[in-house]
């Protein structure tokens, strides 16, 4: 595709619900990243994939957060038992290879009520 596509664009969840956020990277991009951006803050690193391998998940804030990229293309970020502090924009980015510039999607804005 022309760019990184994320869906849904907006998600409202009640506290305690599970959510799944989808990222379609640019075709052919090996590296995929998830970042979390709280209101008024810069993005913060969550996790990184190279193809289907999750090489770094040091930024995931708790074991309620889980990411996968089973076929090395589309990725899903899952948040279990959502809490109010999970409210943020979740950004996905991809790059041709690890050292290449990142291309970000427009994010999914998650609101937990």
In the complex, which residues of this chain contact other proteins (CB under 8 A)? 4, 31, 33, 35, 40-45, 48, 56, 59, 91, 93, 95, 98-99, 101-107, 109
Cis peptide before 8 (omega within 30 of 0): yes
In sequence order, the β-bridge partners of residue 85 are: none
Gap between the Cα atoms of 19 and 12, Å rounded: 9
Question: Which letter does DSSP use for residue 25 in this model?
Answer: P
CA Rg value for the chain: 13
Q: Which is nearer to other proteins, 35 or 79 (CB)?
A: 35
Nearer to other proteins, 76 or 80 (CB): 76
CB nearer other proteins, residue 64 or residue 103: 103
Q: What angle do CA 55, 80, 82 make, to 5 degrees?
A: 120
State which residue, 27 or 58, has the beta carbon closest to other proteins. Answer: 58
The rounded distance, in Å, linking the Cα atoms of 76 and 71 is 11
């Amino acid at each position: 595709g022309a760019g990184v596509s994320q869906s849904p664009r907006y998600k409202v969840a009640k506290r305690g619900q599970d959510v799944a956020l989808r990222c379609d990277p640019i075709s052919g991009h090996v590296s995929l990243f998830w970042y979390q951006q709280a209101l008024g803050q810069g993005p913060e690193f969550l996790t990184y994939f190279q193809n289907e391998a999750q090489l770094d998940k040091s930024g995931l804030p708790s074991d309620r957060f889980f990411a996968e990229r089973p076929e090395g293309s589309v990725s899903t970020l899952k948040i279990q038992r959502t809490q109010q502090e999970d409210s943020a924009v979740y950004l996905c980015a991809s790059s041709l290879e690890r050292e290449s510039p990142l291309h970000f999607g427009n994010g999914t804005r998650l609101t937990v009520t």
